[in-house]
Amino acid sequence: MIDKQRLEDAKAGNVQEQVSIGKYYYFGAWGLGENIDYKKALFWLTKAAEQGHVESQHSVGFMHYEGQGTQIDYETAFHWYTKAAEQGYTPSQNNLGCLYRDGRGVAEDVEEAFIWHSMGAEKGNASCACNLGLMYLEGNGVPESLIDAAYWINLSRGQGFEYAIELWHEHKLWKFEDELFERISRKISKYKKI
């Protein structure tokens, strides 16, 4: 149960309380799945998102994408993912890239998908790296390049990302380990010179 003071603070605009109450309703009491109410979660997380809270912006985008507490609405998901992605939030950069790739909530644009997946991948996001590698693997919006695919999928795989592990073996990307080692060694050499 949410105490009265916390609720009053959230109503008065306290972002942290809005987030806390939103998570309470999203995950249920104490994270045990009791009292889950996606509509109330969406209400409070939207309040926080409107004040610029990046994780809430992502959560609101996700809830609209999945239809949690509302109807599925890809355009609204796109709006909130964009807000969070522009603040550098890599999970939103990944999801925004997927929306561009699939043409959901926005016109299909593989160049934009590439840009957003690249941004997140460069910051170490495993999902972005895997999606970027997949674009190279399929030649989707970029020239097909197995070595570039192997590079990004390997980075994702190294973080334990299950789909990247599957792609690594399914497409026998391990054949490129020598080239990857050489590429990484060149990058390290550049940094040592700086």
Mind listing the pLDDT tens digit for each residue in 58-117? 999 999 999 999 999 999 999 999 999 999 999 999 999 999 999 999 999 999 999 999
Q: Is the pLDDT of residue 46 over 60?
A: yes
pTM, entire model: 0.89
The pLDDT value recorded for residue 193 is 63
Distance separating alpha carbons of residues 190 and 153, to the nearest angstrom: 22
Q: What is the pLDDT of residue 186?
A: 74
Taking a C-beta distance cutoff of 8 angstroms, is the pair 156, 136 a contact?
Answer: no
Q: What is the mean pLDDT of residues 44-62?
A: 99
Torsion of CA 43, 47, 48, 51, to 10 degrees: 160
Mean pLDDT of the chain: 94
Confidence of residue 179 (pLDDT cuts 50, 70, 90): confident
Q: Which two tokens stand for residue 91?
A: 């999970």
